Amino acid sequence: MDYSEALKYIQESGYKLTNKRKEMIRIFFNHDYIFSAKIIFDFMKVHYPAISIDTIYRNLNLFKQLSLIHHTEFQKQTYYYRNRMENSFYGHIICMKCRSIKSVVMNSSRTLVPYLCFSVSSYKFEIYGRCTKC
Ligand SMILES: [Zn+2]
């Protein structure tokens, strides 16, 4: 799903496509990083000085509900990042220093899931470390 498809998806799901929502989605599509709500808030304040942190959380929750973004706990804080790999089994590699994030597709879902005799409702696979730049 690209940026414009994400915007369309929000509308088709019955939600208003406000300029603030567009801008927040743009942040996630333009940067391969994990973001705290506070960082998103600081980004948004540049264009919307009167925006509240509640609006940020409300929109983050909406995007999560629509599966446009994921969240993760990292160093005792919640971070949000874009869901890049719908319809495949994937994980994420997160740099603990610069907070960059890369997606990795795993090819073991077909062998692993039946072997476990387990109905998967959700999963999370994250590897933490340092990227090559750090
Ligand atoms: Zn890094």
Distance 134 CA to ligand 1 centre (A): 4
pTM of structure: 0.78
* 54 CA from centroid of ligand 1 (Å): 30
Q: Could you give the CA distance from residue 96 to residue 131 in angstroms, rounded to a whole number?
A: 8
Alpha carbon of 57 to ligand 1 centroid (Å): 26
Cα of 110 from ligand 1 centre, angstroms = 31
Q: How far, in Å, are 7, 9, 23, 42, 57 from residue 4 at the CA level?
A: 5, 9, 12, 24, 22
Q: Which residues of the chain have pLDDT under 70?
A: 85-89, 106-120
The predicted pLDDT at position 87 comes to 56
Taking the centre of ligand 1 as the mean of its atom positions, its distance from the CA of residue 117, in whole angstroms, is 37
